Amino acid sequence: MKKKLLSAILAASMTLGLLAGCGGAAAPASSGNAGGSAGGKIGVAMPTKDLQRWNQDGDNMKKQLEAAGFEVDLQYANNDVATQVSQIENMVSSGDKVLVIASIDGSSLGTALAAAKEKGIPVIAYDRLLMQTDAVSYYATFDNYMVGTKQGEYIRDTLDLDNAAGPFNLEVFTGDPGDNNAQFFYNGAMDILNPYIDAGKLVIQSGQKDFATVATANWSTEEAQKRMENIISSFYADGTPIDVVLCSNDSTAMGVENALDSAYSGAWPIITGQDCDIANVKNMIAGKQSMSIFKDTRSLAKQVVEMVTDIMNGKEPVVNDTSTYNNGVKTVPSFLCEPVFADINNYKELLIDSGYYTEDQLK
Ligand code: BGC
């Protein structure tokens, strides 16, 4: 009886993908589709070529969709919302069968998405949730709250906040307010750090703490650099040490590192990041960035290609979260991949041994 119950639970959790890592154990559920028997053209809309990760995401999606037998319509929008809207409108009118969209601003694609829905074209939100629309069918991403949690835990553990006397000076940088992920990263990290801020063990000398104040338009390195330079000159010019900077991702971390390089002469602070961009991994090796979050874009692409293939074959795609991501109109069935923590001690194994980068790329 007990055994029966266990196997029923096991079967149910496999259907929901609960036991599956990203692109991992979920594969068998879709493997009957290998070869993309359905064929057809798939639209892939990416935000920008400016950040390394989206180039990798786009390349991986194209390669894997083509290997599965699909034609691929891959577009980059130069971080310009109007461009992305017209790219999606073209995808709809030119007969793309499924749309995979990594939005610039999750709330700004309403009309283009409505056109897709009218034509019965399924839409998958890629990495960033599409907000305020019922036209999105599925969402595939990394667990964004967990990204923030891991960054917060890294700071807590590295400074030994439960035992050390402190206080330590902290500054905070997060991402674009139009990107739903930014709020998740911020909340995940701040839920870990807030008790220490409340207890006075972490002190934000600038007082800049709430999400809107620490957000960085377009995740821009230059904007983060400017804000950090202002913070240094206003609050740390007298030699007050900066102990730690929480940065939600690598592009903002790079801005902070550039500002420290040009305007700060104290001991180098702990700095967090996300994406394991090549330039940031180089900084990690050089001791200028403490950690990054590794999100293997190959496995996210694999998961999305499986979703596309299932949809094209009239099957229900595998998801593993049906409660977290409400977009204001509906709760979107999601597949969350697990992010991994990377630092100087494990980057070789994670990034080089796995074939993500070559050793030469990191020199
Ligand atoms: C992604 C991050 C990325 C950021 C800036 C977020 O939506 O999840 O991986 O660093 O956008 O491109």
Q: Kindly report, residue by residue over 341-356, the tens digit of the pLDDT.
A: 999 999 999 999 999 9
CB neighbour class for 78 (10 Å; exposed up to 12, middle 13-18, buried from 19): exposed
Q: How far is the CA of 172 from the centre of ligand 1 (A)?
A: 16
Q: Is 90 exceeded by the pLDDT of residue 290?
A: yes
Provide mean pLDDT across the span 141-145. Answer: 97
Q: How far is the CA of 295 from the centre of ligand 1 (A)?
A: 10
C-beta of residue 96 within 8 angstroms of C-beta of residue 74: no
User: Which residue's CA lies nearest to atom 6 of ligand 1?
Assistant: 181
Q: What's the CATH fold of domain 20-143+297-337?
A: Rossmann fold (3.40.50)
pLDDT-above-90 percentage for the chain: 89
Q: Is 70 exceeded by the pLDDT of residue 25?
A: no
Mean pLDDT over each residue of the chain, to the nearest integer:
91
Matching residue, tokens 């990690």: 284
Q: How far is the CA of 249 from the centre of ligand 1 (A)?
A: 7
Q: How far is the CA of 237 from the centre of ligand 1 (A)?
A: 31
Identify the residues whose C-beta falls under 6 Å from ligand 1. Answer: 51, 53, 127-128, 175, 179, 181, 219, 249, 251, 274-275, 295
Q: How far is the CA of 72 from the centre of ligand 1 (A)?
A: 23
pLDDT of amino acid 7: 41
Q: Write out pLDDT tens, residues 90-112.
A: 999 999 999 999 999 999 999 99
Non-local (6+) Cβ contacts of 114 within 8 A are 133, 135
Q: How far is the CA of 29 from the centre of ligand 1 (A)?
A: 28
What span, in angstroms and rounded, lies between the C-alpha atoms of 103 and 133?
13
Task: Specify the ligand 1 atom closest to the Cα of 47.
Answer: 12
- Higher-confidence residue of 37 and 272: namely 272
Q: Is 80 exceeded by the pLDDT of residue 27?
A: no
Provide mean pLDDT across the span 226-234. Answer: 98
Terminal CA-CA length for the chain: 58
Reduced 3-state DSSP string for the chain: CHHHHHHHHHHHHHHCCCCCCCCCCCHHHHHHHCCCCCCCEEEEEECCCCCHHHHHHHHHHHHHHHHCCCEEEEEECCCCHHHHHHHHHHHHHCCCCEEEECCCCCCCCHHHHHHHHHCCCCEEEECCCCCCCCCCCEEEEECHHHHHHHHHHHHHHHCCCCCCCCCEEEEEECCCCCCHHHHHHHHHHHHHHHHHHHCCCEECCCCCCCHHHHCCHHHCHHHHHHHHHHHHHHHHCCCCCCCEEEECCHHHHHHHHHHHHHHCCCCCCEECCCCCCHHHHHHHHCCCCCEEEECCHHHHHHHHHHHHHHHHCCCCCCCCECCCCECCCCECCEEEECCEEEECCCHHHHHHCCCCCCCHHHC
pLDDT of amino acid 22: 67
pLDDT of amino acid 39: 83
Residue 12 — pLDDT band, cuts 50, 70, 90? Answer: very low
Task: Specify the ligand 1 atom closest to the Cα of 275.
Answer: 9
pLDDT of amino acid 320: 96
Provide mean pLDDT across the span 153-181. Answer: 97
Q: What's the CATH fold of domain 144-294?
A: Rossmann fold (3.40.50)
CA-based torsion, 75, 81, 83, 85: positive or negative: positive
pLDDT of amino acid 159: 98
Q: Is 50 exceeded by the pLDDT of residue 80?
A: yes
Q: Write out pLDDT tens, residues 44-74.
A: 999 999 999 999 999 999 999 999 999 999 9
Q: How far is the CA of 104 from the centre of ligand 1 (A)?
A: 10
User: Which residue's CA lies nearest to atom 3 of ligand 1?
Assistant: 249
Domain boundaries, the chain: 20-143+297-337, 144-294
Task: Specify the ligand 1 atom closest to the Cα of 295.
Answer: 9
What span, in angstroms and rounded, lies between the C-alpha atoms of 285 and 289?
8
Q: Is 90 exceeded by the pLDDT of residue 142?
A: yes
C-beta of residue 46 within 8 angstroms of C-beta of residue 24: no
Q: How far is the CA of 6 from the centre of ligand 1 (A)?
A: 38
| 249, 272, 295, 297: residue to mutate for ligand 1 pocket, most atoms within 8 A of CB | 249
| 56, 60, 143, 275: residue to mutate for ligand 1 pocket, most atoms within 8 A of CB | 275
| 76, 129, 274: residue to mutate for ligand 1 pocket, most atoms within 8 A of CB | 274
Q: Write out pLDDT tens, residues 322-335.
A: 999 999 999 999 99
pLDDT of amino acid 83: 98
Residue of 168, 193, 186, 269 lying closest to 228 (CA atoms): 269
pLDDT of amino acid 38: 63
Residue 28 — pLDDT band, cuts 50, 70, 90? Answer: very low
Amino acid at 332: V
